[in-house]
């Protein structure tokens, strides 16, 4: 049996986003939903609901993204410019 990258879907507060997909990507999304439904037993009535978890999984497994994100989080933040009165005090 093959292991899909997505598992059961979490019930989370959504943010509405509009996206255009090519017909081929949409067909593959529908097929993926069918396979996922068979594997997890969780019916995926709306295949577009998979887009969010797929993007999250993609970002979670992208090592370059994780490395750059960590570097950005620990980078020193620029300090605000000090006024002349602060410099002489």
The per-residue pLDDT for range 57-78, each reduced to its tens digit, is 999 898 888 888 888 887 766 6
* Residue for token pair 């969010």: 52
**What's residue 66's pLDDT?**
87
Q: What angle do CA 32, 67, 81 make, to 5 degrees?
A: 125
**How many whole angstroms from its chain centre is CA 38?**
24
Please indicate, yes or no, if residue 62 is contained in any of the structural domains: yes
Whether 79 is in a domain gets the answer: no
Which residues, at least 6 apart from 35, have a Cβ–Cβ distance to it below 8 Å? 4
Number of domains present in the structure of the chain: 1
Q: Exposed/middle/buried for 45, CB within 10 Å: 0-12, 13-18, 19+? A: exposed
Which residue matches tokens 């999984």?
57
- Can you give the pLDDT at residue 85? 63
List of the chain residues with pLDDT < 50: none
User: What pLDDT shows up at residue 86?
Assistant: 61
| Residue 11 pLDDT | 75
Give the domain extent around 24: 19-70
């Amino acid at each position: 049996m093959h292991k899909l990258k997505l598992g059961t879907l979490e019930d989370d507060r959504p943010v509405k986003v509009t996206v255009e997909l090519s017909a081929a990507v949409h067909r593959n999304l529908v097929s993926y939903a069918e396979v996922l439904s068979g594997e997890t037993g969780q019916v995926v009535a709306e295949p577009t609901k998979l887009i969010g978890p797929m993007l999250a999984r993609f970002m979670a497994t992208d090592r370059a993204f994780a490395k750059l994100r960590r570097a950005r989080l620990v980078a020193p933040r620029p300090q605000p410019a000090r006024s002349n009165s602060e410099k002489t005090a």
